[in-house]
Amino acid sequence: MTISYQLFKVLSPGLFTTVQDRGRYGYQRYGVPVSGAMDVFAASLANLLVGNGDDAAVLECTVTGPGFFVLDHARVAVTGADMPIFLNGQAVAGWSSFRVKTGDVLEIGRAQSGCRSYVAVTGGFEVPPVMGSRSCNVGAGIGGLHGRPLQKEDGLCRGIGPILPEPRRIPAELVPKYPDRKILRAVPGPQDDYFDEGLDMFFSSDFIVSHESNRMGYRLSGPEIRQKTGKPTSIISESSLPGGVQIPPNGQPIILLAEQTVGGYTKIATVISSDLDLIGQATPGNSIRFQRVDLQTAYVLKRKQQQIIDHLKEIVVLTDTVRDLQKEFAAENEDAAARHFADLYPECIW
């Protein structure tokens, strides 16, 4: 039996707030998309800040965040887009954890940069898993809270997890920036042989994110990307993965994202996985330019991103350990031991 605690009553749902985790894998051959958080890096760090595992369910808030009446105590963290956070009317910092208790009001405002923020809570948001994932796919009406975005008066539960005694935060130098002009690194293909001058234009032009963009894909507007003369404008439908860049007959690129399974347009390039998070933080009107890289570079950059996450996990664990030791020794010898450990591990005392 699953044990959960009523945590939030929704006062305002935000523009488009859904429950997401790392995704629903193994069912694409049945036409079920992966779904999951659009910015996996931000979602993972939100969970880290409250002591959850990587795959705990979070809230993904798009452009404008929700407001909640708090029904229980928990640790909360908000990462991703720069959305103002208020607890009982007082500003709270993002990319850090803070404690909420019964009777509090938590409000998340409109994004000042970026597009999506992630709310993690102690134990993760507890909703029934569907095909091994709690991620909401609104188009299919599955996962999340009743297969839809949050609505006013909804209730949200959390699972069992540690109530951390001390706050955690991500060092400022490791907090991502979300500029209006984004450089996306991409590997040509798999149908780059359908293009000649069009391939050069694709990697040398600026494109604008269209308002016709969502979790299925981002439509871009810019110079027309033409195929080689005589090449068909479509191919036999094949599996589609997040990051594939389709070129439909109008020549305007579409970046495929979390809720796709198959497609029949040629794919001129594939955005590398470590840059997919940047796409999830793009808003209509943002500028995008593609930078050509090879597959080996893509592997190196993916490993580097994972190393950053692993490093942050080590820092957080060490920091918690140091705090425990500080308290234990300081209790015996006033604050002498605390000063000793602060000298020993200055980078870990936040």
Same domain, 51 and 130: yes
Domain assignment of residue 176, yes or no: no
Q: From first to last of its 350 residues, what are the pLDDT tens digits of the chain?
A: 567 789 999 999 999 999 999 999 999 889 899 999 999 999 999 999 999 998 999 999 999 999 999 999 999 999 999 999 999 999 999 999 999 999 999 999 999 999 999 999 999 999 999 999 999 999 999 999 999 999 999 999 999 887 777 888 898 888 999 999 999 999 999 999 999 999 999 999 999 999 999 999 999 999 999 999 888 878 888 888 899 999 999 999 999 999 988 888 999 999 999 999 999 999 999 999 999 999 999 999 999 988 888 888 887 765 555 455 445 444 444 444 444 434 444 443 33
Q: Which of 118, 138, 171 is the last residue of a domain?
A: 171
Domain presence at residue 116: yes
Residue 164 lies in a domain: yes
Do 284 and 315 belong to one domain? Answer: no
Residues 279 and 303 occupy one common structural domain: no
Choosing from 293, 308, 326, the residue where a domain stops is 293
In a domain, 136, yes or no: yes
What's the 3-state SS for the chain? Answer: CCCCEEEEEEEECCCCEEEECCCCCCCHHHCCCCCCCCCHHHHHHHHHHCCCCCCCCEEEEECECCEEEECCCEEEEEEECCCCEEECCEEECCCEEEEECCCCEEEECECCCCCEEEEEECCCECCCCECCECCCECCCCECCECCECCCCCCEEEECCCCCCCCCCECCHHHCCCCCCEEEEEEEECCCHHHCCHHHHHHCCCEEEEEEEECCCEEEEECCCCCCCCCCCCEEEEEECCCCEEEECCCCCCEEECCCCCEEEEEEEEEECHHHHHHHHCCCCCCEEEEEECCHHHHHHHHHHHHHHHHHHHHHHHHHHHHHHHHHHHHHHCCCHHHHHHHHHCHHHCC
Asked whether residue 215 falls in the same domain as residue 246, the answer is yes
Do residues 114 and 194 both lie within one domain? no
Confidence at residue 313, expressed as pLDDT on a 0 to 100 scale: 82
Q: Do 151 and 86 fall into the same domain?
A: yes
240 and 278 assigned to the same domain: yes
Pair (159, 12) in one structural domain = yes
Q: Do residue 162 and residue 308 come from a single domain?
A: no
Q: How many domains does the chain have?
A: 3
Residues 269 and 197 in one domain: yes
Q: Which domain holds residue 336?
A: 299-348
Prediction pTM value? 0.89
Q: Are residues 331 and 307 located together in one domain of the fold?
A: yes
Both 305 and 231 in a single domain?
no
